[in-house]
Amino acid sequence: MADQVRVAVIGAGSISEAHLEAYRNNSLADLVAVSDVNGARARAAADKYGAPKSYADYRELLADPDVDAVSICTWNNTHAEIAIAALNAGKHVLVEKPLCLTVEEALAVQQAVRSSGRLLQVGFVRRYDPNAQLLRRFAELGEFGDIYYAKASILRRLGNPGGWFADAKRSGGGPLIDIGVHVIDLCWYLMGKPKVVSVSGNAYRELGNRQNVKGLSFYKAADYDPSLNTVEDLANALIRFENGASLYVDVSFTLHLEKDESSAKLFGTKGGFEVIPELKIITEKHDTILNVTPQVDHAGFDFRAAFQGEIDHFVDCVREGREPISPVEDGVEIMKILCGVYESARLGREIRFDAGEEQA
């Protein structure tokens, strides 16, 4: 494809701004349409970012021959349906995390990718942060030896975004599927994507959304509504991999915690590193432990650069017919882990996977 990629964004809520902004900055992308069930919201975003068309019904957008590729930025429960419809309509797809709600849906999306011959990129935006790419390169070059343990947390003391995020029917769950997905995927990617063999998890609903708390602001859904909350406050999980490596993660929307905490640390036989909150490498030389600070513009997560990297990569992959670095297969694996953790928490026991399938 020599010319610009003609793109559209479906879902014009909070995160769509990051997609729209990044498409605007990419000279190889031409934004042609925006869609949202809230037609006025779609029109406002189209006007703001210079898209000539807006649609309230995404199916009309998918029937538009002027659209080559779409970003899906809607509620989680609509991702699979819209992605499959888009692929079958001949569009390339960038779908926000999580890929969908269930493993069955994930496999159906994968099937649609294969039968349509179109590409699908999962919006695992943390992978596209320059520091994640730096560490992945170091890891591939053997800098850390074999990575055998990873530990990640995203603990919010007050941060249930409300609205659809807090409605399990539309979100699929709480902090595990919303923010846990980011760090589970990031660690798994930096570990070299080992095959998962089992998960053991816990999910708690002890505090609710703490809507009574005053004086602190936090990320909210476009249609914020604290009256419904059917998701967990806190989840933790131990994930085991075929190569013997393990990942421990804990995530919360609400917790009696002094302050929010985010971290992702990985440990290998030759060295370790931190990617959250800031880039750091730990190694040993001449019988001495060295804490190394790589010199980069942003030591922490660079939101704008990561979204720009994600969008630029999507546009390049569409133009060049390349497979993205976060393909549908990775979305399927992450759905297996997330759904396995919820299943483990529900049953109160470990869930084992054999040849990629869950054992009853």
Q: Shortest distance, CB of residue 54 to ligand NAD, whole angstroms?
A: 11
**Closest separation in Å from C-beta 39 to ligand NAD:** 10
**Does 12 participate in binding ligand NAD (rule CB under 6 A)?**
yes
Angle between helices 303-320 and 16-25 in degrees, nearest 10: 60
Our finding on whether 331 is near ligand NAD (CB under 6 A) is: no
Tell me which of 159, 162, 163, 324 binds ligand NAD, using CB under 6 A: 163
User: Which residue, 304 or 349, is less far from ligand NAD as judged by CB?
Assistant: 304
Bridge partner residues of 230 (DSSP): none
Please, are residues 89 and 61 in contact by the beta-carbon 8 Å criterion? no
According to the binding rule CB under 6 A, does residue 221 interact with ligand NAD? Answer: yes
Q: Which stretch binds ligand NAD (CB under 6 A): 11-19, 152-160, 198-206, 259-267?
A: 11-19
The CB-of-341 to ligand NAD minimum distance in angstroms stands at 17
Amino acid at 58: Y
Nearer to ligand NAD, 24 or 220 (CB): 220
Per-residue exposure over 113-122, b if at least 16 CB sit within 10 Å of its own CB, e if not: beebebbbbb
Q: How far is the CB of 48 from ligand NAD (least distance, A)?
A: 14
| Closest distance to ligand NAD from the beta carbon of 293 (Å) | 26
Shortest Cβ distance from residue 318 to ligand NAD (Å)?
Answer: 19
Rounded least distance, CB 223 to ligand NAD, Å: 6
Residues 172-201 that bind ligand NAD (CB under 6 A): 178
Q: What is the 3-state secondary structure (H, E, C) of the chain?
A: CCCCEEEEEECCCCCHHHHHHHHHHCCCEEEEEEECCCHHHHHHHHHHHCCCEEECCHHHHHCCCCCCEEEECCCHHHHHHHHHHHHHCCCEEEEECCCCCCHHHHHHHHHHHHHHCCCEEEECHHHHCHHHHHHHHHHHCCCCCCEEEEEEEEECCECCCCHHHHCHHHHCCCHHHHHHHHHHHHHHHHCCCCCEEEEEEEEECCCCCCCCCCCCCCCCCCCCCCCCCCCCCEEEEEEEECCCCEEEEEEECECCCCCCEEEEEEEECCEEEEEECCCEEEEEECCEEEEECCCCCCCCCCHHHHHHHHHHHHHHHHHHCCCCCCEHHHHHHHHHHHHHHHHHHHHCCCEEEECCEECC
Pick between residue 37 and residue 238 the one whose CB is nearest to ligand NAD.
Answer: 37
CB of 195 to ligand NAD, least distance (A): 25
Task: Judge residue 46's burial from the number of C-beta atoms within 10 Å of its C-beta, 0-12 exposed, 13-18 middle, 19 or more buried.
Answer: buried
Contact characters 222-261, ligand NAD, x per CB under 6 A: xx--------------------------------------
* Span of 5-13, 248-256, 277-285, 338-346 interacting with ligand NAD by CB under 6 A: 5-13
Interacting positions 38-97 with ligand NAD (CB under 6 A) = 38, 41, 58, 73-76, 78, 96-97
Say whether residue 305 binds ligand NAD (CB under 6 A). Answer: no
Output the residue with the shortest Cβ distance to ligand NAD. Answer: 13
| Residues contacting ligand NAD: total by CB under 6 A | 28
- Using the rule CB under 6 A, give the single segment among 32-40, 191-199, 260-268, 288-296 that binds ligand NAD: 32-40
Question: Which residue from 8, 15, 120, 247 is in contact with ligand NAD, where contact means CB under 6 A?
Answer: 15
User: What x-and-dash track marks residues 122-141 binding ligand NAD by CB under 6 A?
Assistant: -x-x----------------
Q: Which of 313, 291, 187 is nearest to 245 (CA)?
A: 187
Nearest to 193 by CA among 314, 301, 326, 282: 326
* Stretch binding ligand NAD (CB under 6 A), from 6-14, 63-71, 99-107, 232-240: 6-14
Q: Which residues bind ligand NAD (CB under 6 A)?
A: 10-16, 35-38, 41, 58, 73-76, 78, 96-97, 123, 125, 163-164, 178, 221-223
